[in-house]
Amino acid sequence: MPSRQYHEELWGDVPVGRRPPDFERRLAFLRRYAVAGARVLDVGCGEGAFTSALAADGAVVTGIDVAAEPLRRAAERDRDLDLRLADAEPPSWPLADGAFDVVWAGEVIEHVADTAGWMSELRRVLRSGGTLALSTPDHGPLARLALGLAPRAFDRHFDPRRDHLRFYTRRTLTLLLSDFRFESVQLSGLGGVPGARRTLLASARRARF
């Protein structure tokens, strides 16, 4: 199945207007970096909830997604948004080099098949010294232990038919960001309990050279 068709079919099962999980808390995290006047890219913007919120705050925001359906929904809800359709395989974004001060990828990286290509494209469009902010499900030690002790939960979580392709811990996410020359990596957890947080929040600065 072509990549574009796959992503369109996934969105066909998503109810219109569904609010992103932990929206307010993730937005509060993002607002530390996406200040008024900043050029911000919302990668995997979906229906544009974060895109609209940041634009209302005064940031100059562009949203991209690999499926046309969520972009159609976003444009229908907020016609002032700058929205672009991107290619997933290989990752290719219709954006200039170094065009953004901040790149936000909320619950996206776990869906990416070509992680190296995606990270390279992300780094390309972020200016030298710019900030990457992202969130992804957290597979901390207690969460991994719980999955290991509960075969049915393990099977559900790692069902090969799910659209989650990658599974990150604090260590693996830090190593990935370092490999692509991101500095000052900061990680925190959201939801759940210590050792079994639901979501990882990460920020990092693109190395200047």
User: Which CATH number characterizes residue 123's domain?
Assistant: 3.40.50.150
**Burial category of 136 from C-beta neighbours within 10 Å (exposed 0-12, middle 13-18, buried 19 and up):** buried
Q: What is the pLDDT of residue 144?
A: 84
CA distance 7 to 40: 24
Q: What is the pLDDT of residues 74-129, one digit of tens each?
A: 999 999 999 999 988 888 899 999 999 999 999 999 999 999 999 999 999 999 99
Nearest to 63 by CA among 28, 104, 22: 104
Q: 197 is in which domain, residue-wise?
A: 3-206
List, edge to edge, every strand of the sheet that includes 182-190.
82-85, 60-65, 39-43, 100-106, 126-137, 199-206, 182-190
CA distance 4 to 129: 32
CA distance 53 to 77: 12
- DSSP-derived 3-state class of residue 75: helix
170 pLDDT tier (thresholds 50, 70, 90): very high
Could you give the number of structural domains in the chain? Answer: 1
